[in-house]
A and B are shown apart, each in its own frame.
Chain A
Amino acid sequence: MNEYKEIQSGSKPFKRAYVALMLWFVGRAIEAAARVDAAVKAEFDGLSPGFTFSLGVMPQGPTMIVGKDDQGLVRYRGWDPEGQKIDLKMKVKNLEGAILMFTFQESTAMASARNRLIVDGEVPAACAIVRVLDIVEVYLLPKLIAKLAVKRYPDWSFGEKIRNRIRIYGGAIFGL
């Protein structure tokens, strides 16, 4: 009888590493933005105590987890969902879809529209988190790129945007 070797799909280590890095960075940036930006804080305040969500890539990750702690502060909770109670799971169907999202060739809205994103959890919470992601993307990205990532670029004052951007970058990179 012939022997057939099981064929594993390509692991695409560089793309996976890039997405993992972006998720880590965006996760920490959300934590920082919840301290700095009133709209992000208000979105999280409107979610239930202890609310936790994950954003990851199917089937094996990478994943980032962000949630509210006992004091209601928003915390980046790493990449491992093991042992964490996650209220909302947002999953990109595959790595290529995640690359499109995180190289900002496709907005979160377009990813949803093209069936690339699966949302498992309460829809109002998912709406709030998509709004948070949009705001964070505007802070993290230059206007030219952010305009591709969000439906409508907000008309914030230049000074406020730069001040908050510096604080969010500081929080994401150095944990300030």
Chain B
Amino acid sequence: MELPGYYEYYCGVKIIAGHDALERIPGILQDLHARRPMIVTDKGVAGAGLVDIVLGAVKDQLTIGAVADDVPPDSDLRVVNRLAALYREQDCDALIAVGGGSVMDTAKGINIVVSERADDLMKFSGAGALKRPLKPLVAVPTTAGTGSEVTLVAVVKDHERHLKMAFVSYFLLPNASILDSRMTLSLPAAITAATGMDALTHAVEAYYGLSKNPLSDATALAAIRLISGNLVKVTRNPSDREARLAMANAAALAGMAFSNSMVGMVHTLGHATGSVCGVPHGVCMAILLPYGLEYNRHKREAVMGELLFPMGGSDVFAGTTKEQRTDRVIAYVRQMNQDLHDASGGRHARFFKEVLDREGKPAVPRERLLDIARTALGDGSIFYNPEDLDYDDFLMVLEAAWEGVALDPGCIRT
């Protein structure tokens, strides 16, 4: 096992996982001396009846101060300030975030404003600006992928000033995260597939990245094993509660891995593609993951080969020579995308040219690849990628991912 000369690891989030985990929320808040939480969510989550499930699980033991269900798909500074005012008006003393990444980010932003009595959230942006614990925050994820229920980051956008503010602090970690199978049961097949591949990418990039360490390795391997056994299964059968719970656990484990070991070029290119073409993050991850493995394999061959064990199981691992293991890992990820494509009735995209926008038009026109490659040069996740990439390298990978062909090893500069 590769042991770094120095590393740091932290995950201070209490995890409560189960088919009836929501029922623990009142007890958790009581332990934290909170009695009147505000629920933060979005219209989609509320419309799917998920907030009602949460309310049903807690209402006998807890007074809910307010339910704010108008968080936009992109976190927004004005919304954070408005909801912080609502929190104060309703005399709330804790937050329950029910939703995906934007809801979690918004709840964390509200928490900074109400805990620090901040009039300008900007004062607390960057790393290390928060100096003391915030109000209690309980995260209830409604997708199994982002891992934001265990991460210490929040991103809030100031759409008026065109600013994206990132906040990084251990105090932003939720006090507890509730992984309850009821929260993802109604997730459509294509979103289940894409968010699941997001979690797989977190685990795989954390495992072969420069910042890997034994603790993040442990959580990454456990996540990969759960995803390999359950993602295709749950995409085929969305009402499989056991598989839903397994995926919720996998996403949290992968979140623990990548929030301590960071991610690499798959995220670099994924962030850029999302920013330029508006493609959902999980879709980008699914398409780009095989290319991250192919591009970096000359630097991380042995480490990547180890991934065959959680992906294929002990028999496949033992029956494959060391030299062939990375090939099998890459083939396994591509096959997983194909299986998810089939299981979702063709809605899970395998390469960029088949990604469609809401109007059914190609979401990633080939000519935009140049802009994506340029944007990728400014993404910090590239620091943690084993091999270097410049503009030409980004473009080469994007061309292959657009077409859906494997990278030509002869074109990878070493």
What is B's interface to A at a CB cutoff of 8 Å?
4-8, 126-128, 209-211, 262, 377-380, 382-384, 386-388, 413-414
Q: How large is the interface on A (under 10, 10 to 19, 20 to 34, 35 or more residues)?
A: 20 to 34
**Contact between A124 and B384 (Cβ–Cβ < 8 Å)?**
no
Which B residues touch A130, using CB under 8 A?
383
Q: Judge if A123 is at the interface, Cβ distance under 8 Å.
A: yes
Which B residues touch A126, using CB under 8 A?
380
If A114-B5, A150-B388 touch, whether A109 touches B127 (CB-CB below 8 Å) is no
**Contact between A151 and B387 (Cβ–Cβ < 8 Å)?**
yes
Q: Judge if A152 is at the interface, Cβ distance under 8 Å.
A: yes
- Chain B residue with Cβ nearest A112: B383
- Chain B residue with Cβ nearest A114: B6
If A109-B383, A113-B211 touch, whether A120 touches B127 (CB-CB below 8 Å) is yes
- Chain B residue with Cβ nearest A116: B6
**Contact between B387 and A112 (Cβ–Cβ < 8 Å)?**
no
- Chain A residue with Cβ nearest B374: A46
Q: Which of A95-117 contact B (CB under 8 A)?
A: 109-110, 112-116
- 14 A–B contact pairs at CB < 8 A? A110-B210, A113-B210, A114-B4, A114-B5, A114-B6, A115-B8, A119-B380, A120-B126, A120-B127, A127-B378, A127-B382, A151-B388, A152-B387, A152-B414
Which A residues touch B210, using CB under 8 A?
109-110, 113
Which A residues touch B126, using CB under 8 A?
120
Q: Judge if A155 is at the interface, Cβ distance under 8 Å.
A: yes
If A120-B127, A155-B413 touch, whether A113 touches B384 (CB-CB below 8 Å) is yes
Instruction: Determine the distance from Cα of A114 to Cα of B413 in the docked complex, in whole angstroms.
Output: 25
Instruction: Determine the distance from Cα of A119 to Cα of B383 in the docked complex, in whole angstroms.
Output: 12
Instruction: Determine the distance from Cα of A112 to Cα of B8 in the docked complex, in whole angstroms.
Output: 12
**Contact between A127 and B7 (Cβ–Cβ < 8 Å)?**
no
- Chain B residue with Cβ nearest A39: B390
Instruction: Determine the distance from Cα of A155 to Cα of B414 in the docked complex, in whole angstroms.
Output: 10
Contact of A113 (CB < 8 Å), options: B209, B379, B388: B209
Which A residues touch B414, using CB under 8 A?
152
Q: Judge if A36 is at the interface, Cβ distance under 8 Å.
A: no
**Contact between B387 and A127 (Cβ–Cβ < 8 Å)?**
no
* Most B CB within 10 A of own CB, among A109, A113, A114, A118: A113
Which A residues touch B211, using CB under 8 A?
113-115
**Contact between A123 and B384 (Cβ–Cβ < 8 Å)?**
no
Which A residues touch B378, using CB under 8 A?
123-124, 127-128
**Contact between B127 and A118 (Cβ–Cβ < 8 Å)?**
yes
Instruction: Determine the distance from Cα of A167 to Cα of B240 in the docked complex, in whole angstroms.
Output: 67
Contact of B384 (CB < 8 Å), options: A112, A150, A152, A155: A112
- Chain A residue with Cβ nearest B210: A113
Which A residues touch B380, using CB under 8 A?
119, 123, 126-127
- Chain B residue with Cβ nearest A109: B383
**Contact between B383 and A152 (Cβ–Cβ < 8 Å)?**
no
**Contact between B383 and A113 (Cβ–Cβ < 8 Å)?**
yes
CB distance from A49 to the nearest CB of B (A): 18
Instruction: Determine the distance from Cα of A114 to Cα of B212 in the docked complex, in whole angstroms.
Output: 9
Q: What 0/1 pattern do residues 115 to 144 of A give for CB contact below 8 A with B?
A: 110111001101110100010000000000
